[in-house]
Amino acid sequence: MQLTTWPKGISAITLFVEDMEAAKEFYQTIFGLPVFFEDDASAVFKFSNTLINLLKTTAAPALIEPASVASREAGHRFVFTIDVDDVDAMYVQLLEHGVKFLNGPMDRPWGIRTASFVDPGGHIWEIAK
């Protein structure tokens, strides 16, 4: 059975982080975002209409029980993509801020140009045009 209405977008994404201070600094410095909300266990940043909630891994079990929290070393299972006007120019700017890239900039076979990096929590971000 198909849903009669579909969600209009993703309102929030929660990322588990071991080092909250390093993660907050990264999001403030690299993405240039202010903290939208903060408490003892989380810091929230607003990317347009989507909230990125950084949640301490020690607080994560209460959110997802009975599922378990995987370690950063368990591997990557997703990539967040940010549309930018110029991948090469953004790549240079991010390098100047100390971002270490996994790859790129490169032209992908499906017609976009990308470059990918990892935040302090181990989450992969991709810039694309």
* Domain 8-66: assigned CATH number: 3.30.720.120
Is residue 78 pLDDT above 90, yes or no? Answer: no
- pTM score, two decimals? 0.83
3-state secondary structure of 103: strand
In percent, the amount of the chain with pLDDT more than 70 equals 94
**Cβ-based burial of 65 (10 A; exposed 0-12, middle 13-18, buried ≥19):** exposed
The CATH code belonging to domain 78-129 is 3.10.180.10
SS3 44: strand
Q: Where are the domains of the chain?
A: 8-66, 78-129
